[in-house]
Amino acid sequence: MANRNRLSSFLFALAAPLLASGALAQGAAPAALSPSDAQRVAAAALDTFASQWMERMERVEAANRRKPERDARSVHYRGYSDDFRVELRPTGYPGAPFVGLIRYGEQLFTCSDAGATRCGVAQTTPVTEIFRFQNGRWVY
């Protein structure tokens, strides 16, 4: 998490001049920015949004671990990898000028005890979440 927070701080520093100039004032249209500034702002916002998304996934994993599923053969729950990648793509559509992708792994943990304290990753499935950048913010 510390690396993600440093990266978020770095990207915020890139967007800070735009914030100071008022270009990102509440209600300012992203189209009012130059294309390169708009992309920089969207990328910085995506990094922050992705970090928040993955923090949410950590909470989901913790809740899943507290209430693991049980079947005749195993105790298991779903979790999510710590590593994730983001990708920004232009759409060519002014109403939502960018889409952002967050790629991470969904993990199936199987446990050797009923309390789900001794668990290991049995399977990892790649996940790609797609979001749109609309009205200056990321939307699911």
Confidence label for 70 from pLDDT (cuts 50, 70 and 90): very high
Give residue for tokens 């979440």. Answer: 129
pTM of the model as a whole: 0.73
Taking the CA atoms of 74, 104, 95 and 48 in sequence, report the sign of the dihedral they define.
positive
Computed over every residue of the chain, the mean pLDDT equals: 82
**CB count, 10 Å around CB of 11?**
18
Q: Are 12 and 4 in contact (CB under 8 A)?
A: no
Q: Are 101 and 86 in contact (CB under 8 A)?
A: yes
The arithmetic mean of pLDDT across residues 97-126, rounded, is 95
DSSP for 50-88 reads HHHHHHHHHHHHHHHHHS-EE-SS-EEEEEE-S--EEEE
Give the residue, 25 or 102, on which the prediction is more confident: 102
Confidence label for 32 from pLDDT (cuts 50, 70 and 90): low
Q: Are 131 and 49 in contact (CB under 8 A)?
A: yes
Question: Can you give the pLDDT at residue 123?
Answer: 97
Q: Is the pLDDT of residue 42 over 90?
A: yes
